[in-house]
Structure 1
Amino acid sequence: MTAMRRWVGAHPWAFAVLAWVAHLAVLVVVSRVLPVWAPDAFPELGATVVNLAGIAFGLAVVAALGWWRRSGVVRLAPRRAAWTVLPLMLMPLSYLAFGVHGSVGAWLGGLALYVALGVNEELVNRGVILGALLRRGRLTAVLGSAVLFGVGHAVGGLFFGRDWFSTGPQILSSVAYGIAVGAVRVRIGTIWPLALFHALDDLVLRQANVPWWWHLVLLFGNLGYGWWLLRGQAPDGAAALTRPR
């Protein structure tokens, strides 16, 4: 473990990219190997299992490196600046203004899926990848993890049947989103409030009738909020942010 951690510490960017690629590979392989699991009572079962596999991958990496603190996994509640999470809640609340739809079953099935998805994506992107890049400073960690998070959504266009017309804007939106939640992550020292928010945001968005222009408003809102939280941060100021274990 010590040798592995030493290598990661010396090559954080290489590790971040390798972890990113490996995580995407796990999701794609599991989605291809699994049978089509979409029972009437829980049509999101297959997608939920794929995200559970992503969680297992993330936890395996954290355990292998002993990064329970650095990844933000061991701490359930924010240790500081808990208020920074609250503005994020404006996103899912804003969707309600445009109306929502769906049966109780659709909401419950979506809840299971998006809780798994939220934990999966926050664990790997804001836990493992951002945790590794913190050795290069907070700004680098937030921006680097956000770009990898956004580009990762291109996999949806390649492997999960989405068209590039809709995937392109999603990449840009995801980068902006990653900057905002990454900036919150380095303030609060934990991923769990972000995973909960991520799940709620995706769940309500799926059931809402949100116009395209509001997505654009949120994109710039996320960029602005992330910049506001990160302003004045020294490039090398992350060394003491998280303990090495």
Structure 2
Amino acid sequence: MTTVVDRRPVAFAVGTLGFIVALFVGTRLVLSAAVPSLTVDGISLVTNWLLVAVVVGLVAWLGWWGKIRLTAPVDRRALVYLVPLFGFVALPFAFGVAIPDVSLVEGVTLSGWVALLVIVVGSALGAGISEEILYRGVLLRALESKGRVFAALVTAALFALTHVSQVVFGASIGDWLVGVVLMIPMAIGLAAVAFRLGSLWPLIVWHVAADIALPLVPATIGAAATTRFVLAYLGLSLVVGLMGAWLLWQDRRVVDADEHADGSTDPLERTSG
């Protein structure tokens, strides 16, 4: 079955940005009116898993379980590329960790271990599943026909830009823009690694682990420590981005070599006769 994703992959990918923002805005408006006692944390949790349902439904509609590498075996040789990524998991622990206050309903603050469970299951697990399946799964594979470099750049930009949804839940525009700068190089690396792994599951596991660790950075570390954390995160992101650029360049060389061997891109052959 030929779908709009096959016919117009770029339009589909860009349309995803608007859809996700509209989903988050609409869900917050509806839930705020229907259940006024829900906090921003509570609405965010519901929206997070609503996005999981939408993304899984999209994959089911497309029948892309195999295409997005959910049923494929892992290329174990490529697991080495996950090592720099786990720096994002380890980094928060260098600044000390603390379980943040979490309140799903007005006037009720969850106890420490319950709050941690909400972070793990309610937030990190849902985000890891939905974002990896959508960005490094559906969108990356939909755009792959345009070239791996193009697919990596577009999905990286969309991954960062769609996090404008955080503004819906109270983040400032400035914080979101900083996040865009931090996320784009990392997302380029994630796309390149996704092409190499053969399976999407290692990136889902990594994403869940990273989204568990990040909220544990204490909110009281101070301005100087916060600056160091952001700079360290940016440094890691650039390292991962450079690794991704190198992997994509290697992939491009292989494609060019194959095309040259077939004679399809040899300029001498095209102009001969």
TM range, smaller chain: 0.7 to 0.9
Q: 1:24 aligns with which of 7, 21, 24?
A: 21
Matched residues in 1 for 2:165 and 2:175: separation? Answer: 12
Quickly say closer, same or farther: Cα 1:122–1:235, change in 2 above 3 A.
farther
Corresponding residue of 1:183: 192
CA contact (8 A) 2:21 2:164 kept: no
Greater C-alpha radius of gyration: 2
- The CA RMSD over aligned residues, in Å, is 2.3
1:118-166 CA-partner distances (Å, limit 9, x unpaired): 1111111111111111111111111110011111122323x22211121
CA contact (8 A) 2:160 2:183 kept: yes
CA contact (8 A) 1:9 1:135 kept: no
AA in 1 matched with 2:65: W
Alignment of 1:188-199 (within 5 A): 188-199=197-208
Structure 1: state its 5+ residue gaps.
Answer: 238-245
CA contact (8 A) 1:130 1:141 kept: yes
1:142 paired to 2:141: no
1:189-237 CA-partner distances (Å, limit 9, x unpaired): 3222212211211221111255232122223222222223222222895
1:151 paired to 2:161: yes
CA contact (8 A) 2:157 2:184 kept: yes
AA in 2 matched with 1:22: F
Shift of 1:72: 2.4
Q: 1:123 aligns with which of 111, 125, 133?
A: 133
Alignment of 1:87-98 (within 5 A): 87-98=84-95
1:207 paired to 2:216: yes
Matched residues in 2 for 1:36 and 1:110: separation? Answer: 22
AA in 1 matched with 2:250: G
Structure 2: state its 5+ residue gaps.
Answer: 100-111, 219-225, 256-273
Matched residues in 2 for 1:14 and 1:236: separation? Answer: 28
Shift of 1:71: 1.9
Quickly say closer, same or farther: Cα 1:207–1:14, change in 2 above 3 A.
same
> Structure 1 length normalisation: TM-score?
0.83
Quickly say closer, same or farther: Cα 1:94–1:153, change in 2 above 3 A.
same
1:155-181 CA-partner distances (Å, limit 9, x unpaired): 323x22211121111011121221121
Matched residues in 1 for 2:253 and 2:149: separation? Answer: 6
CA contact (8 A) 2:186 2:240 kept: yes
- The percent identity for this pair of structures is 28
Shift of 1:84: 2.0
SS in 1 for 2:27: helix
Shift of 1:17: 1.5
Alignment of 1:199-238 (within 5 A): 199-209=208-218, 211-234=229-252, 237=255
AA in 2 matched with 1:164: I
Quickly say closer, same or farther: Cα 1:213–1:3, change in 2 above 3 A.
closer
SS in 2 for 1:179: helix
Matched residues in 2 for 1:167 and 1:132: separation? Answer: 27
SS in 1 for 2:2: helix
Matched residues in 2 for 1:139 and 1:236: separation? Answer: 13
Corresponding residue of 1:162: 171
Corresponding residue of 2:182: 173
Corresponding residue of 1:242: none
> Structure 2 length normalisation: TM-score?
0.75
Matched residues in 2 for 1:18 and 1:203: separation? Answer: 29
CA contact (8 A) 2:135 2:159 kept: yes
Query: Which shifted more, 211-220 or 163-172?
Result: 211-220
Query: Which shifted more, 140-149 or 90-99?
Result: 90-99
CA contact (8 A) 2:149 2:248 kept: yes
CA contact (8 A) 1:71 1:131 kept: yes
Kindly tell me the number of residue pairs found equivalent between the two proteins.
229
